[in-house]
A and B are shown apart, each in its own frame.
Chain A
Amino acid sequence: GENVEQHPSTLSVQEGDSAVIKCTYSDSASNYFPWYKQELGKGPQLIIDIRSNVGEKKDQRIAVTLNKTAKHFSLHITETQPEDSAVYFCAARQNTGNQFYFGTGTSLTVIP
């Protein structure tokens, strides 16, 4: 099966700086890679995703890059704000089947 690894497990940045979270996956058949943000007391919320036919996707201050050859993808948050503080999860999924494989999460703290 698929194995998703996520780093770092914790990340602290100053407000206004950028944050980068990285994930690797093992199964080359995976072709969909979402990122979720989970705030305290809430369920994970989909914030951005990327499919294997593109290398980069951007949505305002958030971007995701995918390197299929190396089997890794990254979340980039620019101009961080205190409200970006949360736990972020990456995931991978194949075109067939029902299962998403999640990373262990990154706790991001943005220091005002």
Chain B
Amino acid sequence: ETGVTQTPRHLVMGMTNKKSLKCEQHLGHNAMYWYKQSAKKPLELMFVYSLEERVENNSVPSRFSPECPNSSHLFLHLHTLQPEDSALYLCASSQAPQSSYEQYFGPGTRLTVT
């Protein structure tokens, strides 16, 4: 596997379910990001981990809970979601922010909340 991978690619869940999204990067980066992509809106940054420490949390509801166990893996734990949370969730990675700029994205997880 190369680049940034995400699983699952598609997820349908009810509002009372608990599920997790997984991201893995094979680029040797040490910063990872979660974005939400909704139609007709700019990408919304949700969380940033740099060197496995959360450094950004953009007022995301607590029903979204990130976890970064190491520099290669990132999870987004979901519980009691709302229908408006349906979107494409994108993971990205980059090298430590102050030393490089390029950010690489995974293919995304298409989430539908019913």
Contact = CB atoms under 8 A, between A and B. Distances in A.
A100 B45 contact: yes
B70 interface: no
Nearest to A43: B105
Interface in A81-105: 89, 93, 95-105
Interface size class of B (residues with CB under 8 A): 20 to 34
Interface in B81-99: 90, 92, 97-98
Contacts of B66: none
A43 B41 CA distance: 15
Nearest to A97: B97
Q: Which of A45, A49, A89, A102 has the most CB of B within 10 A?
A: A102
B7 to A, nearest CB: 13
Contact of B103 (A97, A100, A101): A100
Interface size class of A (residues with CB under 8 A): 20 to 34
B55 interface: yes
Contacts of B103: 34, 46, 100
Contacts of B56: 98-99
